[in-house]
Structure 1
Amino acid sequence: MIYEPSNIDLFKEKAQLWASSFSTVCILDSNNYSDPFGSISLMIAVGKTSEFKSDKLQDFKDLQNFLNKHPEEIIPGYLTYDLEAYFFIPNYLLTFKKGKVEIKATDPYAIINAIELIDIKVEAINFHGTIKNRMSRQEYGTAFQKLQEHIFKGDIYEINLCQEFYSENSSLNCFAAYKELNSISPTPFSCFLKHENNFIISASPERFLSKKGEKLISQPIKGTAPRGKTPEEDNEIKNRLKNDLKEISENIMIVDLVRNDLTRSAKAGTVKVEELLGLYSFKQVHQLISTISCTIKPGIESTTTIQNTFPPGSMTGAPKISAMNLISQYEKGNRGLYAGSIGYFNGNNDFDFNVVIRTLIHNSETGYLSFHVGGAITAYANENAEYQECLLKASAINKLLS
């Protein structure tokens, strides 16, 4: 049914708080960013009637078979960098568009009443723990220099080096942390996902891949700069970013990689760059974003188009396989969900997935908390500048936890 609350913003806030009490929930919020390729402003999926799990998704056909069994359902979930997968069919689904909410439930009026009775309270994040670096500053520098040597030797021409910040035996009010992070850093692909003891709190600004009908869209981000303290300084920083040859070259290299990835799913001659080096501003940073699209060739299943492009090129480097082999050699520890993707299948095998960056992960049973940050290394990259960019990308989560 379609419900039109008298106060849509208040109903959204209550609905998210109501959903957070369930053991399985996925909240995807675009934060009202204008997006010609998206289809919802807020989605809340609660409970599960069925689920798909895989410790190592070697064959995407298993996931496709699961989707084929539920052709009309919206199915949220995630893929980790190492191809662990989790997707579920929600018990209750709320999708918000233009001041109205569509509620899919056996008794939607019971859902409305339960949400309207929610008492909004501001809860403390209550983080207790000590944040540590998986990679010291010196170790980062050594890895950076070694990877740049690989570039000079011609093994690769760009690579994304990432590092983990973590806390053991920590505690956190995860939903309060999500609300606060979404306030500090509202982004078009923010997410709160809870599955049993695992919590994902994401402020991702980046789309990995979207399918609408016969069209695939990818929007890699390469190029980051901080916001200015005054309008004049902000404009100056934007202009520097737009003309930064190193940032431009990073972005164009990944655009070429994504074009190549999309070719595997595309009708001949349909891969095109719709926007190159678009400058977009978020609350914490400015970013250079390019948009690449193609028309899908007949007979290609949705999950195959994901398999043909996964993991996101902006998080690996180029050539992709060579870069991934070096990533496993030089990064300390596994990426896990970081550099993977969260999103949903939207019935009829359409989908929309983000890139998991600017994301906090917490296990409430073990107390392990983790977030990664990274940046691209090219022949022109400066070690200290790249390290400072990592700290900039971590600033919203560090502010949250401090």
Structure 2
Amino acid sequence: MAQQQKEPIAALPPEEDLNPYHIAQAQFDWAARYLPDLKPGLGMFLKKPKRLVTVEFPIQTEDGTVRNFIGFRALHSRSRGAGKGGLRYHPDVTADEVRALASWMTWKCAVADLPYGGAKGGIVCDPKTLTTNDLRRITRRYIAELGDNIGPHTDILAPDVNTNAETMAWIYDTYEMMHRGQNNLGVVTGKPVDLGGSLGRREATARGCLFATQIALGRGIVPGLESVKGASVVVQGFGNAGSIAAELFAEAGASIVGVSDSRGGIYQPKGFDPTAARKHKKKTGSVVGLSNTKNVSNEELLALPCDILIPAALENQIRSDNADQVRARFLVEAANGPTTPTADRILFEKGIPVLPDILANSGGVTVSYFEWVQNFENQ
């Protein structure tokens, strides 16, 4: 693995800016320094999203209330192919967040050598307060409002935070009703298998994270740690990517010593079964309170001693105010943008290597590409 270069990290400004879009643009400027043949005009074209669509619509929820919802869809680039990126549901979704995520998707697809550009979408809502029928209505209306801004050859959706295969089925069904007489399966990936989805797509992000970690360790990025086997692992975020990553790392011989979700975390230095944690969360709504573990906060979890720390939640989890407390030997970014540039600099100075998100979590979009190709081949 390439040796880290200290100069650009040390050159980052000391002030902290937690706006994800500002962070993405700063990262582009930083990387552009090492592309001397990149012409300024082309750099500006590659730096900014191609478009941002904002929609607002009313939905009557099952409790009889009429509520307005705001949604976004950013297309960063189509230079390498159709835009590709997930759709997330979260109360803190912003236009700048989806623009940043779309930018990172462009770079991720380039790293994975996939014929896609980047895109991303989000709806401002709290799924925990909505019924399944509410979410279905919101999804269908969002897709209808986007209209021809999405399509199998222009902008392709996928699961993300708080969305899943069922959500993707609603998207496909809505788009299909609007575009009869053509093969529309490719408008969305991460679909149920019986609707043109791919086996293994649900696990793909986490499995790719495991593969990338194994390869990095095998190349000596962490002296004395050559494999995940026997390594102590902490996972922040216990949704789709985090929970599956914990189980896959455990199957590979790692000891899962800590995990967390939005309500808090648990710690057991001797390790515990992540499958038991998943079942406990399904039963109680959180991993907190699993037997034979100690309850910890999310901030405390990030500071636990471990070999591998896997942030698998949202952006900006490791910042200038807590990066110095990280005691992991290796940080693997299963989430998008979990580490700020200033935190990157601090981790570098502490000697903690980081496996970046655009490589570490690219397994999901890779298998999405396989699904997309299979849809057009009618397989």
Give the TM-score category using the shorter length: under 0.3
Per the normalisation by structure 2, the TM-score is 0.27
Which one has a larger percent strand, Structure 1 or Structure 2?
A: 1
For normalisation by structure 1, the TM-score amounts to: 0.26
Query: Which structure has greater helix proportion?
Result: 2
- Relative contact order, higher structure (CA 8 A, sep 6+): 1
